[in-house]
Amino acid sequence: MWLSGASYYCCPTIRRSASEDVDVSEDATEAPAGETEEQTSPAPGEDWPEPLGLAAYHGLAGEVVMAIEPHTEADVAAILLQFLAAIGNALGRRAYFLVEDTRHYPNLFVVLVGKTAKARKGTSWGRVRQLFEGSGWVLHCITEGLSTGEGLIHRVRDQVIERKRDKGGEHDVVVDPGVDDKRLLAFGEEYARILRAMQRHGNTLSQILREAWDGKRLEVATKSTPEKATGAHVSVISHVTRDDLLAEMDETMTANGFGNRFLYCCVRRSKLLPLGGRINRQIAADLAHRIREVVDDCPSGEILFDAAAEKLWRERYEQLTADRLGIYGAITARAEAQTVRLALVYALLDRAQFIGSAHLEAALEVWRYADASARAVFGDRVGDRIADAILSALRRAGPQGMTRTEINNLWNGRVVADRINAALTKLTAHGLAHRTTGGRPEERWCV
């Protein structure tokens, strides 16, 4: 089961309740004929991720979580990840961590995965946002909804100057003042809607979001939308149910690197508060003041590991870069990049000139939870809808497995043999299924 038993945080002031089970039924887009979606669901992924350890609550981020947690039904992981994404965007592009020739800025893409209402995903964002209220960043740098790459560029577009001629001669004229503040946090309540929009022909959102995460110049070179954005600092927070995520995340999104630019975070309701809750005003005001100081005093230029952090990084690097299979492997393929960005955010929250071991340990723990969340959500899916449906059927068949004819008949001839052959080859390559004759005249497949 995806969620079992009660689990508690190491920190005595933070507790997660197991009062809510999580629906793990999956949507098989190409369901075999005559079977329900529930019947064709692959086996669920691993159990719910182990709760975030104390290391993740380092510094101001931990204080924010501990201040909010007693007064909300939201998951502490949701509070923490959204706060890190929010402050990472507010900090802008002044500081960066250099990996070879690539600058990693503190902008993060986060997806919370849980139930639509009972996981309290929207509640957790509201709690975080209130600590930034009154700042110019909240007023001008947050947008809700993402549908096109052109729309995103427009929010952080460059100034446009054109050469015009009049009676006095030629002059440079500002036809569009552009946007001075290039920070943008895109908050999308429905990640599934974003994924569906990207599947429309000609939609550029996937390309632009990938380039935004990379910190590149944003541009869609068309006659109707010639806008460009230089130095944009884009972050994303979105929410989704597990069923919608599995239904909408296709092979292209995992293969082209879009999916692994996001941190996936399993969330659920932490407790029952029939009358809600409210943070002490003085505590909230103090936290908001300290957040403003962190943003105002953010250092500029390259931030390096100190000696202790470098030693820890060398010890953990092989594990971070190890190969993983299936969708889970594709989704977590940027483990090292995500970790250094998280470490950078923790260091900047401490107003430090170096990334220390405590910052890196915090980042490693957050990544551990994100990695475990991805594993819990995607399990051993291979990213091929036919292959995943076959795997589901083989698991239901049990030790006796299925004959090739039985596998072909799952779709009543609607899927060609070559497509099924390719799916079986993929399952074999991943070690998820194997062929055995067992003395029978026809080939038989088992898990």
Q: What is the pLDDT of residues 44-102, one digit of tens each?
A: 444 789 999 999 999 999 999 999 988 888 899 999 999 999 999 999 999 999 999 89
d(Cα 78, Cα 370) in Å, to the nearest integer? Answer: 11
Considering only residues 310 and 382, tell me which one the structure prediction assigns the higher pLDDT. 310
3-state secondary structure of 172: strand
Alpha-carbon distance values, 254 to 37, 104, 148, 246 (Å): 23, 21, 19, 12
Could you tell me the pLDDT band of residue 296, with boundaries at 50, 70 and 90?
very high
d(Cα 209, Cα 401) in Å, to the nearest integer? Answer: 43
- Check whether 17 has a pLDDT greater than 70: no
* 82 exposure class (CB count in 10 Å sphere: 0-12, 13-18, 19+): buried
- Check whether 288 has a pLDDT greater than 50: yes
The lowest-confidence range among 69-83, 99-113, 270-284, 358-372 is 270-284
d(Cα 34, Cα 388) in Å, to the nearest integer? Answer: 17
pLDDT value of position 280 = 84
Work out the average pLDDT over 18-32: 40
Work out the average pLDDT over 12-19: 39
d(Cα 282, Cα 222) in Å, to the nearest integer? Answer: 51
pLDDT value of position 285 = 94
Work out the average pLDDT over 93-116: 93
Diameter over CA atoms, the chain: 94
Considering only residues 33 and 110, tell me which one the structure prediction assigns the higher pLDDT. 110
pLDDT value of position 262 = 96
The pTM assigned to this predicted structure is 0.81
- Check whether 16 has a pLDDT greater than 50: no
Contacts 24+ apart (CB under 8 A), 221-227: 222/150, 225/150, 225/153, 226/160, 227/150, 227/153, 227/154, 227/157, 227/158, 227/160, 227/176
pLDDT value of position 440 = 58
3-state secondary structure of 365: helix
Non-local CB neighbours of 208 within 8 Å, separated by 6+ positions: 149, 152, 153, 218, 220
Q: What is the pLDDT of residues 164-190, one digit of tens each?
A: 888 778 888 888 899 999 999 999 778
Domain ranges of the chain: 7-378, 385-446
- Check whether 443 has a pLDDT greater than 90: no
- CATH code assigned to 7-378: 3.40.50.300
Work out the average pLDDT over 12-36: 41
Work out the average pLDDT over 276-301: 91
Q: How many CB atoms lie within 10 A of CB 164?
A: 11
385-446: which CATH architecture?
Answer: Orthogonal Bundle (1.10)
* Helix and strand totals (H; E) in the chain: 17, 19
